[in-house]
Amino acid sequence: MTLAFTALTLRLSPMRSWKLIPCSSHLLYMQTATPSFTRQISMDAKSVASQLKSSGLLRTQGLVGGKWSDSYDGKTIKVYNPATGESIADIACMGGRETNDAISSAYDAFQSWSKTTAAERSKLLRKWYDLLMAHKEELAQLITLEQGKPLKESIGEINYGASFIEFSAEEAKRVYGDIIPAPLSDRRLFVLKQPVGVVGAITPWNFPLAMITRKVGPALACGCTVVVKPSELTPLTALASAELAIQAGIPAGVVNVVMGNAPEIGDAILASPQVRKITFTGSTAVGKKLMAGAAGTVKRVSLELGGNAPCIIFDDADLDVAVKGTVAAKFRNSGQTCVCANRILVQEGIYDKFATAILGAVKNMKVGDGFSEGVVQGPLINEAAVEKVESLLRDATSKGAKVIHGGKRHSLGFTFYEPTVVTDVNNEMRISREEVFGPVAPLLRFKTEEEAIKIANDTNAGLGSYIFTNSVQRSWRVAEALEYGLVGVNEGVISTEVAPFGGVKQSGLGREGSKYGLDEYLEIKYVCLGNMNKE
């Protein structure tokens, strides 16, 4: 079966026409300018792209077995700047054959990489981290160019993403086994931890670096090799980070990158018995397909899937802290994160004050191209994302919700959307049931702590959640009652490389980051030594 686990996305923009372009026997929607609307890429973006190309960080080929490679049939797809709709680069459109070769390269490299000492792997990962930090500005520019987030946020992502490589370099030397007291005197019992094997890492577009390093760092630290499949919307950051991995001295075949035809790449990863684990960040629907597809070869699977994060504001919360934390949790990356505050539950005693305060904060948010000074919100990734936001708002307002700010496309055009605040939302509206993935803050009213917990848990998702209260007792009660893998108390940005990240229910399996994240890439082997009392 064909599993389109990263959709061949329709990159629609206003005033544009569309045509179907074949890519490796599949059809991709590609953007073409109409005669009445021809626009060159902005000088700022063009200058950035030129500088990145001259630095060697703007790569357009895949990486297979340590060699940069075009697609075997010569097909390419375009990468666009979501802030302008303009083409940045044509990248190799790879498919099943290239992926199988990448898997073979990773499998061959595993035979030697898994036998290197932890100290050697640690040193190479540390060199990779140093190079990522040395090229922080260029990498941040690349993220803003292909993903659209403000440059300051992109720099933050480089710091965050690189931290997983640094942490993995440190933890590589701390993958310990055990000695178990034996029940018989002539036996010795050992537990060894060994790398699982070749890993297929499938990453999304919203954090083009961090979602890769969060997977590849621990995999390499444990002795695994990887085949990375980045999103076709944002592959350039992945390729740049792979170039730096090569410069760090990580051996050929240990890190491979293929991108292009998502269904073919996915089928190859799922079918190969040489791939022993899949790690995926993306939608719940796609995660379910991956679980089903992985059953054929009984691969290990770790999944970080969609969320529906509640952000609960209690009457006793510090209003300033609550507003600051909620805005950070909601509007970071234009609302395009799996742990964004999707439903803002406000207790009735503070509801009106909070609505007024968050309205004031949102009104001051500057929207624009991520390279522009003072911008805190960039564009949404594509037209489909804008249309989803519009659909959810139409449903909410038709059922009684009130837009008190925003609620429409921004005057900048393209895929820019106004920061939006909506009041009188209830938990039955689609905007409360589905992941918005846009800059919309829906405010729901509740009366009691018990009611808030019930509303918060009334979803199949269970990734991120947030509480704002000045009561220590309440913070413990509610944190323990929430059915979520992550809980932030009086804080809106809680992700860190030293803590486990992951969800419960249909938000996924396994954890990333921290010492617990390394366990996802290790097999436990029990060894029993007998006849120990004999010469």
For the residues of 180-221, what is the DSSP string, one character each? EPPSSTT-EEEEEEEE--EEEEE--SSSTTHHHHHHHHHHHH
Q: What type of residue sits at position 452?
A: A
Q: Of 318, 429, 415, which is closest to residue 368 (Cα–Cα)?
A: 415
How far is residue 151's CA from residue 139's CA, in Å, rounded to a whole number? 10
b/e burial code for range 23-32 (CB count within 10 A of at least 16 → b) = bbebebebbe
Q: Is 435 a catalytic residue?
A: no
- Return the closest-CA partner of residue 153 out of 321, 426, 469, 366: 366
Radius of gyration of the chain measured on its C-alpha atoms = 24
Among the listed residues 87, 109, 94, the one whose alpha carbon sits nearest the alpha carbon of residue 63: 94
- Contact at 8 Å (CB) between 161 and 147? no
If you write DSSP's letter for every residue of 214-251 in order, what string do you get? HHHHHHHHHT-EEEEE--TTS-HHHHHHHHHHHHTTPP
In the chain the first and final C-alpha atoms are separated, in Å, by: 58
Three-state secondary structure readout of 313-370: ECCCCCHHHHHHHHHHHHHHHHHCCCCCEEEEEEECCCHHHHHHHHHHHHHCCCECCC
Give me the catalytic one of 153, 157, 171, 304.
304
Instruction: Give the 3-state secondary structure of residue 487.
Output: coil
The SS3 call for residue 175 is coil
What letter does residue 509 receive in the DSSP assignment? E
- DSSP secondary structure letter of residue 449: H
Residues comprising the chain, all counted? 535
Structure tokens at 522: 């290790």
Give the bridge partners for 27, in sequence order: 22
Continuous H helices in 272-350: 284-294, 319-331
Quote the CA–CA distance of 47 and 64 in Å, as a whole number: 29
Provide CB contacts within 8 A for 50, sequence distance 6+.
Answer: none
Which residue in the block uniquely carries the two structure tokens 């995660």?
287
Q: Are 175 and 109 in contact (CB under 8 A)?
A: no
Which distant-in-sequence residues (6+ apart) come within 8 Å of 469 by Cβ? 312, 314, 316, 317, 475, 478, 489, 490
Taking CA atoms, 279 is separated from 276, 424, 444, in Å, by 10, 39, 35
| Residue numbers annotated as active site | 304
